[in-house]
Amino acid sequence: MKAIIVFDGVCGFCNAYVQFVLERDPLGYFSFVSAQSAMGEQLRRMAGNTPPDSIVLVDEGVVYIRSEAILRIGRRLAGPWRWIWWLRWVPRPLRDGLYDVFARYRYQFGTTASCQLPTPDQRKRILLTHNQTQL
């Protein structure tokens, strides 16, 4: 099963992050779903006590949130981005504290009412309905 990233579909920065990951994930390991969709809401509930402004990563049936999700995504990307995994040695309270500050102000980077049209290859990785993946 591929990993699923649940992201804020309204947040301009979050949408740019999805594009960033798509461009650096040549093996297509990640699929994406908006937190505002029915599937996104289901995955967020599955994550339990998830802050509403947190990214969620479901990887091999395990749920990761906040800085841990970002680090685990980064370690699977091509190029030097995988080195971000070394930041796991920074204490989680510090990492999550920095993540929370950034998340609180993420809309300052803009919001979006529409999504960029994905390429046919990218379209396969953007999950729109529950039927497209096994949870």
For the chain, 135 residues long, give each residue's pLDDT as a single digit of tens: 589 999 988 888 888 899 999 999 989 999 999 888 888 888 888 888 677 778 999 999 899 999 999 999 999 999 998 899 999 999 999 999 999 998 888 777 666 655 555 555 655 656 654 444 444
Measured distance CA(36)–CA(34) in Å, rounded: 5
Measured distance CA(67)–CA(53) in Å, rounded: 12
Per-position DSSP letters for 49-68, written without gaps between them: S--TT--EEEETTEEEEHHH
- Per-residue confidence (pLDDT) for residue 126, from 0 to 100: 64
For 77, left (φ over 0), alpha (ψ -120 to 50), or beta?
A: beta
3-state secondary structure of 80: helix
Q: What residues have CB less than 8 Å from 123, skipping those under 6 apart?
A: none
The residue extents of the domains of the chain are 3-130
Structure tokens at 82: 């995988």
- Per-residue confidence (pLDDT) for residue 59, from 0 to 100: 95
Backbone angles phi, psi at 46, to 5 degrees: -60, -30
- Per-residue confidence (pLDDT) for residue 103, from 0 to 100: 87
